[in-house]
Amino acid sequence: MKITEKEKMLNGELYLAQDKELGEMSLKCRSLLDRFNETKFGEYEKRSEIIKELFGKIGKNVNVNKPFFCDYGAHIEVGDNFYANFDCLILDVNKVIIGNNVFFAPRVNIYTAGHPIDKDVRNTQLEFGKKVVIGDDVWVGGNVVINPGVTIGSNVVIGSGSVVTKDIPSGVIAVGNPCKVIRKITEEDKKYWNLKKDEYYLTK
């Protein structure tokens, strides 16, 4: 049985984006993005409905600010309480799977798209995609780039300006270009921030 370009794309194999099925998906996505990005600031419900139509799977209490950009939308899956600040870009030629309680600062970029290193193969327009996975309870700082094939664990903070080229384990703070773990998130962090939270509520 013949494998479609979409199936090759989602399998992480070389494929051609200049394909009728993919072209139709891309056109639908861009139409939805036009509607989303043209909404007025206060039209929260309208944007929420468009995102539900755009994404492949969506949890509860999802908030995406405009402008937002993606390739297909249908390959993006987000859990509950997802938040993306201004100017988020997701190239979802492969799956982008995001867990619960994940927050993006402005200008977070996720790339699943890759291109052959060999110039002659690359010039044929063949490309590929690798899935990106982000666990639960993750904060991604501003201007972070997450590259194809990366998995980020749960309970992670990615510092602003980082370029994530390799997997990041759970329970850590990671920063830099390339992004590297600088330390674990500890019980001391938990105690400190819970104390700050209690102080906040005492002043209300």
DSSP code per residue over 21-62: HHHHHHHHHHHHHHHHHTS-TT-HHHHHHHHHHHSSEE-SS-
What integer is the mean pLDDT of 20-31? 97
In the chain, the domains with their CATH numbers are 5-202 (2.160.10.10)
Mean pLDDT of all residues belonging to the chain: 97
Give the Cβ contact number of residue 148 at 10 Å.
20
d(CA 23, CA 89) in angstroms, rounded, equals 19
- For the cut 90, the answer to whether the pLDDT of residue 192 exceeds it is yes
Among this protein's residues, is 75 annotated catalytic? no
Q: What is the mean pLDDT of residues 56-78?
A: 98
* SS3 per-residue string spanning 53-92: HHCCEECCCCEECCCEEECCCCCEEECCCCEECCCEEEEC
pLDDT classification of 1: cutoffs 50, 70, 90 = confident
At a CB cut-off of 8 Å and minimum separation 6, what does 62 contact?
A: 48, 51, 78, 80, 81, 82, 83
- Bridge partner residues of 83 (DSSP): 63, 103
pLDDT tens-digit readout, 104-124: 999 999 999 999 999 999 999
**Set 28, 35, 115, 130: catalytic member:** 115
Contact (CB, 8 A) for 140 and 99: no
Place of tokens 């798209």: 113
Using a pLDDT cut of 70, give the percent of the chain over it.
100
Dist. CA 61–CA 193, nearest whole Å? 24
pLDDT of 203? 81
pLDDT at position 153 is 98
Helix (H, G, I), strand (E, B) or coil at 193: helix
